[in-house]
Amino acid sequence: MTAQDREVDGVEDVLALFARQPDEPDGGSGGRPDTDRAASGPGAPSDREPKPAPNPDAASPKPAAGTRRHRATPWAEARAIAARSGRSAATAPATANAPARTRRVPLEQALGHVLAEPLAALTDLPSFDTSAMDGWAVSGPGPWSVRPDQTDQADHPDEPAAPTDTRPTPTPTPGILAGHAAATPLPDGTAVRIATGARIPPDATAVVRSEHARTDSTGHLHAERAVVQGQDIRPRAQECRSGDRLLPAGAVVTPAVLGLAAAAGYDELLTARRPTVDVLVLGDELLVRGLPHDGLIRDALGPMIAPWLRALGADVIDTRRVADDAHALFRAITESEADLILTTGGTAAGPVDHVHPVLARAGAELLVDGVAVRPGHPMLLARLASGRHLVGLPGNPLAAVSGLLTLAEPLLRTLGGRVPQPAYHAPVRDEVHGHPYDTRLVPFVHRDDRLVPLRYNGPAMLRGIAVADGLAVVPPGGARQGDELEVLDLPWAAWADASASTDDGCFT
Protein backbone atom coordinates (compact mmCIF):
# COMPACT_ATOMS: atom_id res chain seq x y z
CA MET A 1 0.00 0.00 0.00
CA THR A 2 1.41 3.39 -0.96
CA ALA A 3 1.39 6.50 1.23
CA GLN A 4 -1.26 7.94 -1.06
CA ASP A 5 -3.43 4.88 -0.61
CA ARG A 6 -2.97 5.01 3.13
CA GLU A 7 -4.18 8.61 3.24
CA VAL A 8 -6.87 8.44 0.56
CA ASP A 9 -9.65 8.86 3.05
CA GLY A 10 -8.46 12.44 3.71
CA VAL A 11 -8.05 13.55 0.10
CA GLU A 12 -11.66 14.68 -0.18
CA ASP A 13 -11.12 17.08 2.73
CA VAL A 14 -8.06 18.56 1.08
CA LEU A 15 -9.87 19.01 -2.22
CA ALA A 16 -12.80 20.58 -0.46
CA LEU A 17 -10.51 23.09 1.19
CA PHE A 18 -8.86 23.96 -2.10
CA ALA A 19 -12.26 24.38 -3.77
CA ARG A 20 -13.64 26.65 -1.06
CA GLN A 21 -14.00 30.30 -1.95
CA PRO A 22 -11.78 32.69 0.01
CA ASP A 23 -14.75 34.29 1.76
CA GLU A 24 -16.37 30.98 2.73
CA PRO A 25 -16.13 30.54 6.49
CA ASP A 26 -14.59 27.44 8.02
CA GLY A 27 -16.95 24.74 9.15
CA GLY A 28 -16.92 23.27 12.63
CA SER A 29 -18.67 23.69 15.89
CA GLY A 30 -16.48 25.89 18.00
CA GLY A 31 -13.65 23.72 19.25
CA ARG A 32 -15.57 21.86 21.94
CA PRO A 33 -14.12 18.41 22.66
CA ASP A 34 -17.35 16.60 21.90
CA THR A 35 -18.37 18.49 18.79
CA ASP A 36 -15.25 19.21 16.74
CA ARG A 37 -15.11 16.99 13.70
CA ALA A 38 -12.11 14.67 13.89
CA ALA A 39 -9.91 14.03 10.87
CA SER A 40 -10.98 10.92 9.06
CA GLY A 41 -7.55 9.69 8.09
CA PRO A 42 -3.82 10.12 8.63
CA GLY A 43 -3.37 12.74 5.97
CA ALA A 44 -6.57 14.69 6.40
CA PRO A 45 -6.14 18.29 7.52
CA SER A 46 -9.73 18.30 8.63
CA ASP A 47 -9.79 20.22 11.91
CA ARG A 48 -11.87 23.09 10.63
CA GLU A 49 -12.05 25.26 13.71
CA PRO A 50 -14.19 28.42 13.30
CA LYS A 51 -12.97 31.91 13.81
CA PRO A 52 -13.32 33.60 17.21
CA ALA A 53 -15.77 36.37 17.90
CA PRO A 54 -14.44 39.80 16.95
CA ASN A 55 -12.82 41.47 19.95
CA PRO A 56 -13.06 45.29 20.12
CA ASP A 57 -9.93 45.36 22.33
CA ALA A 58 -7.88 43.17 19.98
CA ALA A 59 -4.41 44.38 19.10
CA SER A 60 -5.10 43.94 15.38
CA PRO A 61 -7.94 45.54 13.41
CA LYS A 62 -11.29 43.80 13.34
CA PRO A 63 -11.22 41.38 10.41
CA ALA A 64 -13.84 41.18 7.71
CA ALA A 65 -16.09 38.12 7.81
CA GLY A 66 -14.52 35.02 6.34
CA THR A 67 -10.93 36.29 6.37
CA ARG A 68 -9.66 34.65 9.54
CA ARG A 69 -7.57 32.16 7.62
CA HIS A 70 -5.54 34.97 6.07
CA ARG A 71 -5.05 37.03 9.23
CA ALA A 72 -4.12 34.13 11.52
CA THR A 73 -0.54 34.41 12.74
CA PRO A 74 1.89 32.14 10.88
CA TRP A 75 3.02 29.24 13.04
CA ALA A 76 6.71 30.18 13.30
CA GLU A 77 5.82 33.81 14.01
CA ALA A 78 3.41 32.79 16.76
CA ARG A 79 6.16 30.79 18.49
CA ALA A 80 8.53 33.75 18.20
CA ILE A 81 5.95 36.11 19.71
CA ALA A 82 5.41 33.74 22.65
CA ALA A 83 9.17 33.45 23.23
CA ARG A 84 9.68 37.22 23.15
CA SER A 85 6.79 37.82 25.51
CA GLY A 86 8.14 35.32 28.03
CA ARG A 87 11.62 36.83 27.80
CA SER A 88 10.22 40.31 28.36
CA ALA A 89 8.32 39.17 31.44
CA ALA A 90 11.39 37.36 32.79
CA THR A 91 13.51 40.51 32.62
CA ALA A 92 10.88 42.90 33.99
CA PRO A 93 11.60 44.46 37.43
CA ALA A 94 10.15 42.59 40.38
CA THR A 95 6.87 43.96 41.76
CA ALA A 96 4.25 42.83 44.24
CA ASN A 97 2.44 41.09 41.40
CA ALA A 98 5.64 39.75 39.81
CA PRO A 99 8.17 38.55 42.40
CA ALA A 100 11.88 38.16 41.67
CA ARG A 101 12.58 35.63 38.94
CA THR A 102 15.67 34.17 40.64
CA ARG A 103 16.41 32.53 43.97
CA ARG A 104 19.16 30.56 45.65
CA VAL A 105 18.39 26.95 46.45
CA PRO A 106 20.48 24.25 48.19
CA LEU A 107 21.97 21.65 45.89
CA GLU A 108 19.64 18.96 47.22
CA GLN A 109 16.64 21.04 46.09
CA ALA A 110 17.99 22.26 42.73
CA LEU A 111 17.27 19.23 40.54
CA GLY A 112 15.21 20.22 37.50
CA HIS A 113 15.72 23.94 38.04
CA VAL A 114 17.46 26.24 35.56
CA LEU A 115 20.71 28.08 36.23
CA ALA A 116 20.15 31.83 36.44
CA GLU A 117 23.86 32.57 36.10
CA PRO A 118 26.81 30.74 34.57
CA LEU A 119 28.30 28.00 36.72
CA ALA A 120 31.92 29.07 37.29
CA ALA A 121 34.42 26.86 39.09
CA LEU A 122 35.17 28.01 42.63
CA THR A 123 38.33 25.89 42.73
CA ASP A 124 40.75 24.08 40.47
CA LEU A 125 39.58 20.59 39.52
CA PRO A 126 41.30 18.63 40.80
CA SER A 127 42.55 21.03 43.42
CA PHE A 128 45.86 19.17 43.78
CA ASP A 129 47.78 16.46 41.94
CA THR A 130 46.01 13.16 42.63
CA SER A 131 46.55 9.51 41.87
CA ALA A 132 44.28 8.14 39.16
CA MET A 133 44.86 4.53 40.26
CA ASP A 134 45.65 2.32 43.22
CA GLY A 135 49.32 1.51 43.04
CA TRP A 136 52.71 2.98 43.83
CA ALA A 137 53.92 6.55 43.67
CA VAL A 138 57.47 6.44 42.39
CA SER A 139 60.26 8.99 42.01
CA GLY A 140 62.74 8.74 39.20
CA PRO A 141 63.61 5.61 37.22
CA GLY A 142 63.20 2.12 38.70
CA PRO A 143 63.69 -0.18 40.34
CA TRP A 144 62.66 1.69 43.43
CA SER A 145 63.39 1.14 47.04
CA VAL A 146 60.18 0.68 48.95
CA ARG A 147 59.95 2.43 52.26
CA PRO A 148 60.38 -0.23 54.92
CA ASP A 149 56.93 0.21 56.36
CA GLN A 150 55.32 -0.07 52.91
CA THR A 151 56.48 -3.55 51.84
CA ASP A 152 53.79 -6.20 51.52
CA GLN A 153 54.64 -9.87 51.08
CA ALA A 154 51.40 -10.31 49.14
CA ASP A 155 52.96 -8.43 46.24
CA HIS A 156 55.39 -11.23 45.56
CA PRO A 157 53.77 -14.53 46.63
CA ASP A 158 56.07 -16.38 44.22
CA GLU A 159 59.04 -15.53 46.41
CA PRO A 160 58.49 -17.38 49.72
CA ALA A 161 60.78 -16.37 52.54
CA ALA A 162 63.66 -18.76 53.11
CA PRO A 163 63.62 -20.69 56.42
CA THR A 164 66.89 -19.03 57.36
CA ASP A 165 65.67 -15.53 56.38
CA THR A 166 66.32 -13.32 59.37
CA ARG A 167 64.55 -10.24 57.90
CA PRO A 168 61.65 -8.95 59.98
CA THR A 169 58.22 -9.84 58.58
CA PRO A 170 56.93 -6.84 56.62
CA THR A 171 53.92 -5.14 58.15
CA PRO A 172 51.38 -4.15 55.46
CA THR A 173 50.24 -0.54 55.70
CA PRO A 174 47.81 1.37 53.49
CA GLY A 175 50.37 3.97 52.37
CA ILE A 176 49.01 7.35 51.22
CA LEU A 177 45.21 7.46 51.37
CA ALA A 178 42.66 9.82 49.85
CA GLY A 179 41.62 12.61 52.17
CA HIS A 180 44.92 12.81 54.02
CA ALA A 181 47.24 15.77 54.14
CA ALA A 182 50.21 16.02 51.81
CA ALA A 183 52.84 13.33 52.29
CA THR A 184 56.51 14.03 52.80
CA PRO A 185 58.62 14.46 49.65
CA LEU A 186 59.52 11.23 47.88
CA PRO A 187 63.27 10.90 47.37
CA ASP A 188 64.62 9.84 43.98
CA GLY A 189 64.61 6.06 43.54
CA THR A 190 61.93 5.36 46.14
CA ALA A 191 58.31 4.26 46.03
CA VAL A 192 55.34 4.39 48.35
CA ARG A 193 51.89 2.83 48.18
CA ILE A 194 49.11 5.20 47.13
CA ALA A 195 45.32 4.94 46.81
CA THR A 196 43.10 6.33 44.06
CA GLY A 197 42.31 9.96 44.75
CA ALA A 198 45.17 10.44 47.20
CA ARG A 199 47.43 13.47 46.99
CA ILE A 200 50.62 12.84 45.07
CA PRO A 201 53.68 13.35 47.30
CA PRO A 202 56.12 16.05 46.26
CA ASP A 203 58.82 14.93 43.81
CA ALA A 204 56.85 11.85 42.68
CA THR A 205 57.15 11.39 38.91
CA ALA A 206 54.55 8.69 38.15
CA VAL A 207 52.13 6.17 39.57
CA VAL A 208 52.63 2.50 38.77
CA ARG A 209 49.44 0.48 38.97
CA SER A 210 49.38 -2.35 41.47
CA GLU A 211 48.77 -4.94 38.78
CA HIS A 212 51.76 -3.68 36.82
CA ALA A 213 54.31 -3.90 39.65
CA ARG A 214 56.01 -6.47 41.87
CA THR A 215 58.40 -6.33 44.80
CA ASP A 216 61.36 -8.62 45.23
CA SER A 217 62.89 -10.19 48.29
CA THR A 218 65.21 -7.23 48.75
CA GLY A 219 62.33 -4.81 49.13
CA HIS A 220 62.63 -3.21 45.71
CA LEU A 221 59.72 -2.43 43.40
CA HIS A 222 59.89 -3.40 39.74
CA ALA A 223 57.58 -2.17 36.99
CA GLU A 224 56.42 -4.81 34.54
CA ARG A 225 55.66 -2.19 31.90
CA ALA A 226 57.42 0.93 30.73
CA VAL A 227 56.84 3.90 33.04
CA VAL A 228 56.19 7.29 31.49
CA GLN A 229 56.64 10.43 33.53
CA GLY A 230 53.29 11.69 34.80
CA GLN A 231 51.40 8.46 34.07
CA ASP A 232 48.24 7.87 36.11
CA ILE A 233 48.61 11.26 37.80
CA ARG A 234 45.74 13.70 37.48
CA PRO A 235 47.48 17.06 37.56
CA ARG A 236 45.99 19.97 39.38
CA ALA A 237 43.43 21.90 37.22
CA GLN A 238 43.34 19.13 34.61
CA GLU A 239 39.55 19.59 34.26
CA CYS A 240 39.26 23.30 34.97
CA ARG A 241 40.84 26.22 36.74
CA SER A 242 39.14 28.36 39.34
CA GLY A 243 36.95 30.88 37.54
CA ASP A 244 36.46 28.79 34.40
CA ARG A 245 32.86 28.78 33.12
CA LEU A 246 31.57 25.25 33.35
CA LEU A 247 27.95 25.76 32.22
CA PRO A 248 26.00 28.70 30.79
CA ALA A 249 23.02 30.38 32.37
CA GLY A 250 19.88 28.60 31.24
CA ALA A 251 21.27 25.09 31.62
CA VAL A 252 18.89 22.66 33.30
CA VAL A 253 20.16 21.21 36.56
CA THR A 254 20.44 17.47 36.01
CA PRO A 255 21.91 14.90 38.43
CA ALA A 256 25.24 15.24 36.60
CA VAL A 257 25.10 19.05 36.99
CA LEU A 258 24.54 18.62 40.73
CA GLY A 259 27.67 16.47 40.91
CA LEU A 260 29.70 18.98 38.91
CA ALA A 261 28.49 21.88 41.05
CA ALA A 262 29.40 20.04 44.26
CA ALA A 263 32.85 19.16 42.92
CA ALA A 264 33.36 22.80 41.89
CA GLY A 265 32.66 23.96 45.44
CA TYR A 266 28.97 24.96 45.45
CA ASP A 267 26.57 24.45 48.35
CA GLU A 268 23.69 26.27 46.64
CA LEU A 269 22.82 27.52 43.18
CA LEU A 270 21.21 30.67 41.84
CA THR A 271 18.32 29.39 39.77
CA ALA A 272 15.48 30.88 37.79
CA ARG A 273 12.14 30.64 39.53
CA ARG A 274 10.02 28.05 37.81
CA PRO A 275 7.00 29.66 36.11
CA THR A 276 3.71 28.96 37.85
CA VAL A 277 0.59 27.92 35.97
CA ASP A 278 -3.12 27.71 36.75
CA VAL A 279 -4.97 25.31 34.44
CA LEU A 280 -8.65 26.05 33.81
CA VAL A 281 -10.54 23.21 32.12
CA LEU A 282 -13.73 24.64 30.61
CA GLY A 283 -16.89 22.76 29.74
CA ASP A 284 -20.14 21.52 31.25
CA GLU A 285 -19.96 18.36 29.15
CA LEU A 286 -16.86 16.89 30.84
CA LEU A 287 -16.78 13.90 33.16
CA VAL A 288 -13.92 13.30 35.59
CA ARG A 289 -14.60 9.57 35.96
CA GLY A 290 -16.64 6.76 34.46
CA LEU A 291 -17.78 6.13 30.90
CA PRO A 292 -19.31 8.72 28.55
CA HIS A 293 -23.09 8.87 28.67
CA ASP A 294 -25.99 11.14 27.81
CA GLY A 295 -23.87 13.52 25.75
CA LEU A 296 -21.16 13.78 28.41
CA ILE A 297 -17.56 12.82 27.63
CA ARG A 298 -14.44 12.15 29.70
CA ASP A 299 -12.09 15.04 30.34
CA ALA A 300 -8.86 14.01 28.59
CA LEU A 301 -7.08 17.34 29.04
CA GLY A 302 -7.27 17.68 32.83
CA PRO A 303 -5.11 14.61 33.49
CA MET A 304 -2.75 15.42 30.59
CA ILE A 305 -2.02 19.14 30.73
CA ALA A 306 -0.49 19.50 34.21
CA PRO A 307 2.14 16.72 33.79
CA TRP A 308 2.97 18.09 30.35
CA LEU A 309 3.53 21.57 31.80
CA ARG A 310 5.76 20.16 34.54
CA ALA A 311 7.82 18.43 31.87
CA LEU A 312 8.21 21.86 30.26
CA GLY A 313 9.67 23.26 33.50
CA ALA A 314 6.59 24.83 35.11
CA ASP A 315 5.05 24.45 38.55
CA VAL A 316 1.31 23.82 38.25
CA ILE A 317 -0.54 25.49 41.11
CA ASP A 318 -3.92 23.95 40.39
CA THR A 319 -6.07 22.30 37.73
CA ARG A 320 -9.63 23.58 38.09
CA ARG A 321 -12.78 22.81 36.17
CA VAL A 322 -14.80 25.89 35.32
CA ALA A 323 -18.40 25.75 34.16
CA ASP A 324 -19.53 27.33 30.91
CA ASP A 325 -20.21 30.60 32.65
CA ALA A 326 -18.60 33.91 31.67
CA HIS A 327 -18.69 35.34 35.20
CA ALA A 328 -17.04 32.24 36.68
CA LEU A 329 -14.35 32.35 34.02
CA PHE A 330 -13.73 36.08 34.60
CA ARG A 331 -13.24 35.50 38.32
CA ALA A 332 -10.93 32.55 37.76
CA ILE A 333 -8.75 34.52 35.34
CA THR A 334 -8.59 37.82 37.22
CA GLU A 335 -8.07 36.24 40.65
CA SER A 336 -5.23 33.93 39.57
CA GLU A 337 -1.75 34.77 40.84
CA ALA A 338 0.04 32.39 38.47
CA ASP A 339 2.52 33.58 35.86
CA LEU A 340 0.48 31.79 33.21
CA ILE A 341 -3.21 30.94 33.07
CA LEU A 342 -3.92 28.15 30.63
CA THR A 343 -7.48 27.50 29.49
CA THR A 344 -8.80 24.57 27.49
CA GLY A 345 -11.72 25.06 25.13
CA GLY A 346 -13.86 28.13 24.60
CA THR A 347 -11.49 29.94 22.23
CA ALA A 348 -13.75 29.85 19.15
CA ALA A 349 -17.14 31.49 18.57
CA GLY A 350 -19.66 28.98 19.86
CA PRO A 351 -22.58 29.95 22.10
CA VAL A 352 -20.64 29.08 25.28
CA ASP A 353 -17.14 30.04 24.09
CA HIS A 354 -16.46 32.82 26.59
CA VAL A 355 -12.67 33.28 26.43
CA HIS A 356 -12.60 36.18 23.97
CA PRO A 357 -15.37 38.24 25.65
CA VAL A 358 -13.86 37.65 29.09
CA LEU A 359 -10.41 38.75 27.93
CA ALA A 360 -11.92 41.90 26.44
CA ARG A 361 -13.72 42.64 29.71
CA ALA A 362 -10.46 42.07 31.63
CA GLY A 363 -8.60 44.56 29.43
CA ALA A 364 -6.22 41.94 28.09
CA GLU A 365 -4.00 42.48 25.07
CA LEU A 366 -4.27 39.76 22.44
CA LEU A 367 -0.75 38.97 21.26
CA VAL A 368 -1.77 36.02 19.10
CA ASP A 369 -5.38 35.47 18.07
CA GLY A 370 -5.48 32.34 15.95
CA VAL A 371 -2.53 30.53 14.41
CA ALA A 372 -2.20 29.20 10.88
CA VAL A 373 -1.65 25.65 12.08
CA ARG A 374 -3.67 22.41 12.04
CA PRO A 375 -4.76 21.11 14.44
CA GLY A 376 -5.19 23.96 16.90
CA HIS A 377 -6.11 26.88 14.66
CA PRO A 378 -8.13 28.88 17.28
CA MET A 379 -5.40 28.97 19.96
CA LEU A 380 -4.52 32.36 21.43
CA LEU A 381 -2.00 34.19 23.61
CA ALA A 382 -2.95 37.23 25.70
CA ARG A 383 -1.22 39.52 28.17
CA LEU A 384 -3.42 40.53 31.09
CA ALA A 385 -3.44 43.96 32.69
CA SER A 386 -1.43 42.48 35.59
CA GLY A 387 1.36 41.51 33.21
CA ARG A 388 0.55 37.83 33.51
CA HIS A 389 -0.13 35.74 30.43
CA LEU A 390 -2.98 33.54 29.28
CA VAL A 391 -2.72 30.79 26.68
CA GLY A 392 -6.06 29.62 25.34
CA LEU A 393 -5.96 26.09 23.97
CA PRO A 394 -8.64 24.55 21.76
CA GLY A 395 -10.78 21.93 23.46
CA ASN A 396 -9.86 19.03 21.19
CA PRO A 397 -7.03 16.99 22.73
CA LEU A 398 -4.52 16.91 19.86
CA ALA A 399 -5.35 20.52 19.00
CA ALA A 400 -4.55 21.36 22.63
CA VAL A 401 -1.20 19.57 22.31
CA SER A 402 -0.51 21.70 19.24
CA GLY A 403 -1.24 24.80 21.30
CA LEU A 404 1.04 23.63 24.11
CA LEU A 405 3.99 23.24 21.76
CA THR A 406 3.21 26.34 19.70
CA LEU A 407 2.54 28.92 22.42
CA ALA A 408 2.99 27.52 25.94
CA GLU A 409 6.39 25.86 25.39
CA PRO A 410 8.29 28.91 24.05
CA LEU A 411 6.60 31.20 26.58
CA LEU A 412 7.50 28.97 29.54
CA ARG A 413 11.00 28.32 28.20
CA THR A 414 11.97 31.97 28.07
CA LEU A 415 10.00 32.89 31.19
CA GLY A 416 11.93 30.19 33.05
CA GLY A 417 15.29 31.17 31.56
CA ARG A 418 15.89 27.92 29.70
CA VAL A 419 18.31 27.67 26.81
CA PRO A 420 16.43 26.63 23.65
CA GLN A 421 17.32 23.32 22.10
CA PRO A 422 18.75 23.71 18.59
CA ALA A 423 16.13 23.10 15.93
CA TYR A 424 16.77 20.10 13.74
CA HIS A 425 15.27 18.48 10.68
CA ALA A 426 14.94 14.89 9.54
CA PRO A 427 13.67 13.24 6.34
CA VAL A 428 10.14 11.91 6.31
CA ARG A 429 9.69 8.31 5.20
CA ASP A 430 6.25 8.71 3.63
CA GLU A 431 4.39 11.37 1.75
CA VAL A 432 2.30 13.57 4.05
CA HIS A 433 -0.63 15.56 2.72
CA GLY A 434 -0.68 19.18 3.80
CA HIS A 435 -3.20 21.89 4.43
CA PRO A 436 -3.46 24.33 1.52
CA TYR A 437 -2.80 27.40 3.69
CA ASP A 438 -1.61 26.31 7.14
CA THR A 439 1.22 24.42 8.77
CA ARG A 440 0.36 20.93 10.00
CA LEU A 441 1.76 19.24 13.10
CA VAL A 442 1.74 15.48 12.60
CA PRO A 443 2.71 12.85 15.23
CA PHE A 444 5.64 10.66 14.18
CA VAL A 445 8.13 8.07 15.40
CA HIS A 446 11.82 7.78 14.53
CA ARG A 447 12.67 4.74 12.45
CA ASP A 448 16.04 4.26 10.72
CA ASP A 449 16.84 7.99 10.87
CA ARG A 450 13.54 8.88 9.24
CA LEU A 451 10.27 10.29 10.47
CA VAL A 452 7.37 7.89 10.16
CA PRO A 453 3.99 9.70 10.33
CA LEU A 454 1.35 8.10 12.52
CA ARG A 455 -2.33 7.63 11.93
CA TYR A 456 -4.99 8.86 14.36
CA ASN A 457 -3.83 12.43 13.99
CA GLY A 458 -7.24 14.12 13.93
CA PRO A 459 -7.73 17.05 16.31
CA ALA A 460 -9.81 14.99 18.76
CA MET A 461 -7.48 11.97 18.74
CA LEU A 462 -4.74 11.00 21.20
CA ARG A 463 -3.95 7.49 20.00
CA GLY A 464 -1.21 8.72 17.66
CA ILE A 465 0.46 11.19 20.01
CA ALA A 466 0.41 8.59 22.81
CA VAL A 467 3.04 6.51 20.99
CA ALA A 468 4.80 9.37 19.19
CA ASP A 469 8.36 10.64 19.59
CA GLY A 470 7.31 14.12 18.54
CA LEU A 471 5.47 16.24 16.01
CA ALA A 472 6.69 16.83 12.47
CA VAL A 473 6.18 20.34 11.11
CA VAL A 474 4.57 19.92 7.67
CA PRO A 475 4.53 23.10 5.57
CA PRO A 476 1.46 24.22 3.61
CA GLY A 477 0.99 21.95 0.64
CA GLY A 478 2.44 18.89 2.33
CA ALA A 479 5.71 16.96 2.11
CA ARG A 480 7.02 14.35 -0.28
CA GLN A 481 8.90 11.23 0.68
CA GLY A 482 12.40 12.20 1.74
CA ASP A 483 11.64 15.87 2.41
CA GLU A 484 13.40 17.30 5.47
CA LEU A 485 10.89 18.41 8.12
CA GLU A 486 11.42 20.35 11.31
CA VAL A 487 11.01 18.18 14.39
CA LEU A 488 9.38 19.02 17.73
CA ASP A 489 10.48 16.32 20.16
CA LEU A 490 8.19 15.46 23.04
CA PRO A 491 9.84 16.12 26.42
CA TRP A 492 9.58 12.48 27.51
CA ALA A 493 10.41 10.81 24.18
CA ALA A 494 13.64 9.44 25.68
CA TRP A 495 11.64 7.66 28.41
CA ALA A 496 9.84 5.44 25.95
CA ASP A 497 11.27 2.08 24.97
CA ALA A 498 12.16 2.30 21.31
CA SER A 499 10.94 -1.27 20.94
CA ALA A 500 7.45 -0.40 22.12
CA SER A 501 4.87 -1.58 19.62
CA THR A 502 3.50 1.16 17.44
CA ASP A 503 2.51 -1.00 14.51
CA ASP A 504 -0.98 -1.81 15.77
CA GLY A 505 -2.70 0.35 13.20
CA CYS A 506 -0.91 3.57 14.13
CA PHE A 507 1.43 3.92 11.16
CA THR A 508 0.19 5.66 8.05
CA-wise closest residue to 73 among 89, 56, 52, 87? 52
Task: Please tell me the predicted confidence (pLDDT) of residue 158.
Answer: 44
Strand partners, 283: none
CA-wise closest residue to 442 among 432, 450, 431? 432
CA-wise closest residue to 406 among 33, 82, 58? 82
The CB density around residue 182, as the number of other CB atoms within 10 Å, is 13
Residue 454 DSSP SS3: strand
Amino acid at 155: D
DSSP 303-332: HHHHHHHHHTT-EEEEEEEE-S-HHHHHHH
Task: Please tell me the predicted confidence (pLDDT) of residue 293.
Answer: 87
**Displacement of CA 403 from its chain's centroid (Å):** 17
Residue numbers of the chain with a pLDDT score lower than 50: 1-70, 149-162, 164-165, 167-171, 495-504, 507
Angstrom distance (rounded) from CA 182 to CA 192: 13
C-beta separation of 123 from 242 below 8 A:
yes
Task: Please tell me the predicted confidence (pLDDT) of residue 15.
Answer: 29
> Tens digits of per-residue pLDDT, 37-59?
333 333 434 333 444 444 433 44
Task: Please tell me the predicted confidence (pLDDT) of residue 173.
Answer: 57
Angstrom distance (rounded) from CA 480 to CA 18: 19
Strand order across the beta sheet in which 340-344 lies: 315-322, 276-282, 340-344, 389-393, 380-383, 365-369
> Tens digits of per-residue pLDDT, 227-241?
999 999 999 999 999
